Amino acid sequence: MKLLVTVLGRRPSQYVKVLWRVGDVRYHQPCGPPARALVQHERVTHALLVIPDSLIEPQAESDLAQEWAIELDGYFEPLVLPSRYAPRVEGNVLDFYYAALFHFADWFRKHTPAPEQPLTVVLEGSTGLNVLQLLLYRAVLDFTQALAYTREVELKVYTADPVNEQMAGRDVALYLTESRPVIPALPRLDLQQGTGLLLPSEIVGRDYDFRAKRDELGRHWHWDDLRAFLAAVYQGIPLGILTWYPTQAEAAWKVLDELYKYACRKTESHDGKRVRQVELTEWWRAYALGMLLATELQTHFGEVLDKWKQRGLATLQDLGKLVDRLYRHTPVLRNRFRAERAIRGIDVESVSLPAFLADIMRGSAGQAGKAVERRPDKRNFFAHMGFERNAVEVDLIPTPDSQIGFRYSQGSEKTIQKLLRNSI
């Protein structure tokens, strides 16, 4: 799959038509935005046209967006995003970034490629508005880095020579300025205490419909569970990934989509200027990244997730599949997980089940007479990829080969969740 993304600063028909040249390849049909030439040059399978809403009238937003796409020969799917980069719009410029990442995640869940299929994302970064180009690049980077955990992802960035009216019909160069495989990564999230989905809270807090939708979102995918899930991926805690994997992500996403539309409707008009009453927060980034990872985990590890859902236990083989794929670019984590495999030889038939790893380790270390504090230790938890001896239980899975399964003990889950939440 190959996806092209571009943002425009005016209608495609208003661009000067030139003959774009990429390297030694010259395209003989004059066209305006360079992204149109890249459709042919890169042979993309999908294309997204990002349109700042400050450039179109809100009363006919959908129709005008389709007109822009038609002017690009219908290759592009239009995405209208909130922007304040214009005198007639007042709001938070970061809304553009959060909305872009939200729409990218929504687009991906609808067009998820097969597990073995690589993804190439092509960003045309020479047109549009300077501030929005930077924010769009950041959104594309976060999007690709999240997907790189599970599949091979390549990022390409093109930049064109400046064009003016005197250059109409001439050759103009389009340069490939960045081309590289993407290494998986998650950003540190700035989720401050008390920050909600939308600000200011005094406006949305009085709205019953908003509060009802917010509470519904929390029931489907609670923010504490979301942070724990993202942190488990970020820190390399495979058992935590399964424990806090969202089982109702699709239902939560539908509610989040309604909340996004609600935020877009909260505008007022003052002196000919469109004023946004509310702004998006870092939680939209968190939910977008969480949705991308949840979609990909289901695509690549559906069987592992189904076993976990049925048994509530994970074998070392299943956990090893997660580690080998998600952290294939992080040898230190893969080696750390292999070092923990000494617990594979545990004979749980000789102990009462379920049993704490602490009980087993005391016996193997000759410390049966010592009292061991059964509270998870933060340092040991992260140093041992979540296999903290006072947090993990082992049990036999009722299968013909009586495999050993692992889970976090019920008494330690809240402590483990808090450790994870505070780590990202």
User: 402 — alpha (psi -120 to 50), left (phi > 0) or beta?
Assistant: left
What token pair was written down for 402? 């009586």
pLDDT at position 128 is 64
Distance CA 3, CA 6 (A): 10
> Which residues of the chain fall short of a pLDDT of 70?
85-86, 128-129, 193-194, 341-374, 400-402
Question: Which of 120, 111, 123, 117 has the alpha carbon at shortest distance from 38?
Answer: 123
Domains and CATH numbers, the chain: 1-185 (3.40.50.10640), 311-421 (no CATH)
pLDDT at position 30 is 83
pLDDT at position 343 is 62
Question: Which of 185, 107, 102, 179 has the alpha carbon at shortest distance from 147?
Answer: 185
Distance CA 250, CA 257 (A): 11
Model confidence pLDDT, tens digit, residues 125-159 = 887 667 888 999 999 999 999 999 999 999 999 99
3-state secondary structure 48-89: EEEEEHHHCCHHHHHHHHHHHHHHCCCCCEEEEECCCCCCCE
Helix-helix angle 208-220:249-265, to 10 degrees: 160
Model confidence pLDDT, tens digit, residues 22-70 = 988 888 788 889 999 999 999 999 999 999 988 887 777 888 899 999 9
Distance CA 226, CA 244 (A): 7
Q: Where are the beta strands (DSSP E) in 273-352?
A: 273-276, 279-280
Check: pTM over 0.95? Answer yes or no: no
Mean pLDDT (the chain) is 88
On whether the CB atoms of residues 368 and 377 are closer than 8 A, the answer is: no
Residues with Cβ within 8 Å of 342's Cβ and at least 6 positions away in sequence, in order, are none
Distance CA 176, CA 124 (A): 9
pLDDT at position 362 is 52
DSSP code string of 9-36: SS-GGGSPPBEEEETTEE--S-BSSHHH
What count of residues does the chain have?
424
